[in-house]
Amino acid sequence: MIALRSVVLAFLCTLPAILDSRGLPPVSWCQQDQSYDSRREAMVREQIAERGVRDPDVIRAMRTVPRHLFVPTEEMPRAYEDHPLPIGYDQTISQPYIVALMTELLQPRQGQKFLEIGTGSGYQAAVLAELVDTVFTIEIVGQLAAEATDRLQRLNYGNVVVRHGDGYLGWPEHAPFDGIIVTAAPEEIPQPLLEQLKEGGKMVVPTGKAWAIQTLTLVEKKNGRIISHDVAPVRFVPLTRDK
Ligand SMILES: C[S@@+](CC[C@H](N)C(=O)[O-])C[C@H]1O[C@@H](n2cnc3c(N)ncnc32)[C@H](O)[C@@H]1O
């Protein structure tokens, strides 16, 4: 999957040279893409590695996924800045460091199956898709679910399955999951998600009141018991429910 994407990008980036050699005007979009590449490198170095994210696979995934292609056109120049960005429908794509931190906490690896609640732009799902076999992701806003499905397909993330619905209930047909990531904040951890976590699995979830400072919690299921650790104060959009 990763190799195919690299080959396609490498091929596309030779086109300006081919066009130049025929005496046609140079094509600038590839140079633009290279400038996004260097901004992405700086983001990983300064915002993620220097803040203590160490897992080399997570670092590689953050260096690979083209975050600027997951935000609205007008936000592309800010795609690699150190904060969340609006993605429409009153929702956001999370700060890059938070994406990397939550990913590292789950210790993802090949052979695993993950569930994400809150697809949004599809960026977090793409980062996870670089690291595990399959990502199931649920988004409650229909337009965002449709846009993310389309974007992930165009970018060749065939191992991500997007569903429009209320993620509070999880996705029992595909449970149990090795990892569950919740990217919108419920007041308390949804019971269906605890039930759908595999023995030995991990869940990372922000909990707390809407629009207040919440707590990012790492949950592990060991011998049928739920063990929770508070990780950091965070601020996520609230987990909403279908009316
Ligand atoms: C902070 S954004 C997620 C960012 C996303 N992970 C990304 O990479 O762009 C939170 C998302 O959760 C969605 N959401 C809120 N409540 C939900 C629910 N009950 N089920 C599924 N998605 C929900 C919101 O619509 C929003 O798109």
Residue 94 known to be catalytic: yes
Q: What is the pLDDT of residues 81-136, one digit of tens each?
A: 999 999 999 999 999 999 999 999 999 999 999 999 999 999 999 999 999 999 99
Statement: residue 30 has pLDDT above 80: no
Atom 5, ligand 1: which residue's CA is nearest? 120
Question: Is ligand 1 within 6 A of the CB of residue 141?
Answer: yes
Question: Is ligand 1 within 6 A of the CB of residue 130?
Answer: no
* Model confidence, pTM: 0.89
239 secondary structure, DSSP code: P
Distance 241 CA to ligand 1 centre (A): 11
Main-chain dihedrals φ then ψ at residue 198, nearest 5 degrees = -70, 155
Atom 11, ligand 1: which residue's CA is nearest? 118
Marked catalytic residue, from 6, 21, 28, 94 = 94
159-172 mean pLDDT: 98
Main-chain dihedrals φ then ψ at residue 140, nearest 5 degrees = -85, -20
Q: What is the pLDDT of residues 176-203, one digit of tens each?
A: 999 999 999 999 999 999 999 999 999 9
Statement: residue 166 has pLDDT above 80: yes
Better pLDDT: 12 or 22: 12
> What pLDDT sits at residue 176?
98
CATH number at 2-234: 3.40.50.150
Statement: residue 9 has pLDDT above 80: no
Complete DSSP assignment for 33-97: HHHHHHHHHHHIIIIIITTT---HHHHHHHHHS-GGGGS-GGGGGGTTSSS-EEEETTEEEPPHH
